[in-house]
Amino acid sequence: MKKYSFLVKTAIFTLLLGLGAGGLFFAQTFNLLNDDKVQEKSGEISSSSNVTFWSDIPSDELSRLITDQMTNSELLSQTFMFGWAGAEPPLLLHWWVERGLGSIKVFGWNTDDIHTVAKSVATMQHKSAEGRFQIPLFVATDQEGGWVRHVKGDTTIAPGNMAIGASGYPIDSWYSAYYICREIKILGINMNFAPTVDLFTNHDSTIIGTRAFGDDPDKAGILGSAFLSGSQAAGVIPTVKHFPGHGDTSLDSHGKLPVINVDFETLKKRELVPYMYLFKEGCPALMSGHLSFPLIEKSGAPASLSKYFLTEILRNQMGYEGLIITDDMAMVGATSYAGSLSAAFKMALEAGNDIILSSSTPLLNEQLWVKNLDLMDRDDAFRNRVKDAARRVIKAKLDYFKSENPAPLYPNPETIDEYVPDREGEKFFLEQACRSITIEKKGTMPLTSANGGRILLCGSLPNFFSEAKKRWPEAGFFRFDYDLGPNGTQWVLDNLPPLAAGYDTLIICVSSENHAKVAEYFKRSGKRIIILNTMSPTLGERLDWADTVLLGYSWRCDYSLTAMVGALAGEFEAIGEKPYIGR
């Protein structure tokens, strides 16, 4: 870490103090970052060794050499992964990287301009390279396919996992991961929090839903393994989630700790099965979920904070050897049990996690840092656990960054438009979407202008109207909001029926409960109702009174909408199968 003379630090402190309260905060932060006493307390820095991350030494040995020479501050920093708000990383995150931060996370609120994302990644990697060991950052994101797409801009909205499950081909999963990861790799993102292998056990779940491949554990394992392989072929580290399984609850651990009352035998035969498939393929990283299984972990602790789940079951019984990364520690599912963020960080490390994720960048003197750094000084067992976690992280980085196909450390924003969106991927995703379309109920198919009479198109997304107009050019249209709230729903029910009176057939896109309410208004209207179910397939099951119901499984995906319209028009035979047992 860069040192500053007493006179220089005093001058800067005095200058910042003159700026008032804001300046005082920055002065305190600056002083903490460069305090010689903090450095001394965290361990002596060896001046005799010149070993760096890029030294020509086998990774297992080099990771041990580096961690043996690290201060407590450097060891603890390697286990943290922080995100940030805003388009570009703040100065605070720069300071964390100077401290030795191990990883950063690109969240969906700062990615509309992917050129800025690439620039930010390069800036952070340059900053990290200035450290005494020159250790690169893991740069992660959530780019699952389907509706979880944190890197936005011109990146592809792929059909997603349940669409892959409906087609049933492992090669679809492989190429989905391959093309998704090729796009984020060019931005310098080297780790993807995917695949999701949670099962579609609870059909009312709004947090998993179409993120699941289906409800069959073996099928999820096979498709998840293919996704893992495709990610690695593209040069991005896959991270399977959410261990031990988020599919049997309708609750979202962002807002509450889900409690899943299943015994270990049920978990072993169901949720844990996909993980065993991926472990056999050498899964490099796994995300632990904030999920409580009180019949298994008697304390009620979430799996992410449970040594029994992560060390005894995952490491010892299942033989997992890769990295363990927490889900976002800012989620209520973690902090509600631990009592505070600093306690949650401590418990997560003690449980066996190697990387602790926070969606925001904490202040440099937050308790999650101060308390845990102090504990390392006082508790050898805790220090050894942190050191082991840091060694695992550095070993994984050595294996990845010294491989033949890593993401660029310093991505070039000028070249991004050549690769994003991925032109090969665009062709594949349309084909894959066509293979996924499922006929829930076959009525008037193919639909033509002759047998459909006067057709009214009811939906939200521009692609639906443009594609439908190509097939039924005389059709009328009624547009409503995609994110339709109660007031918007009532507005639709006030204005759509008078317009619909002049039409014989209504094609209605349904992706939410309120969309389904609009469709249900016409249940006994005498109109021919055709449902294009574009999200949770359980909505389509409820609308089986309609003339025709097609399932597309994908959120805002142009490829899936194009495929559903094409199937309805008879341009190809829809052969997708629901990847779960319906109600």
Over 303-315, what HEC string results? HHHCHHHHHHHHH
Cα(249)–Cα(243) distance, integer angstroms = 14
Cα(138)–Cα(239) distance, integer angstroms = 12
Q: What is the per-residue pLDDT across 274-289, written as a single tens digit (0 to 9) for each?
A: 999 999 999 999 999 9
**How far, rounded to the nearest angstrom, does the alpha carbon of residue 346 sit from its chain's CA centroid?**
24
Distances (CA, A) of 517 to 296, 343, 458, 490, 508: 40, 45, 13, 10, 11
Cα(147)–Cα(357) distance, integer angstroms = 21
Distances (CA, A) of 462 to 163, 459, 477, 482, 499: 21, 9, 11, 11, 20
pLDDT at 253: 62
Cα(236)–Cα(216) distance, integer angstroms = 27
**Marked catalytic residue, from 113, 154, 254, 388:** 254
Q: Quickly tell me which residue has 């991350």 as its tokens.
A: 53
In the chain, where are the structural domains located?
1-50, 61-66+75-423, 437-568
Closest to 77 (Cα-Cα) out of 61, 62, 66: 66
**Marked catalytic residue, from 327, 328, 354, 558:** 327
pLDDT at 2: 37
Cα(294)–Cα(261) distance, integer angstroms = 7
Closest to 321 (Cα-Cα) out of 351, 274, 284, 271: 284
* Strand (E) or helix (H) holding 532: strand 528-533
pLDDT at 241: 98
Cα(307)–Cα(321) distance, integer angstroms = 15
* 112 among known catalytic residues: no
The helix/strand/coil state of 443 is: coil
pLDDT at 549: 98
pLDDT at 15: 38
Yes or no: is domain 61-66+75-423 CATH 3.20.20.140?
no
pLDDT at 9: 37
pLDDT at 309: 98
pLDDT at 567: 98
Extract the residue ranges of the chain whose pLDDT is less than 70: 1-49, 251-255, 582-583
pLDDT at 508: 98
pLDDT at 20: 39
Is 388 exposed, middle or buried, given 0-12, 13-18 or 19+ CB atoms closer than 10 A? middle
Q: pTM, whole model, 2 decimals?
A: 0.91
* 327 among known catalytic residues: yes
Cα(99)–Cα(101) distance, integer angstroms = 6
Q: What is the per-residue pLDDT across 2-59, written as a single tens digit (0 to 9) for each?
A: 333 333 333 333 333 334 334 434 434 444 444 433 443 444 444 446 899 999 999 9
Q: For the domain covering 437-568, report its CATH number.
A: 3.40.50.1700
> 356 with 338: CB under 8 angstroms?
no
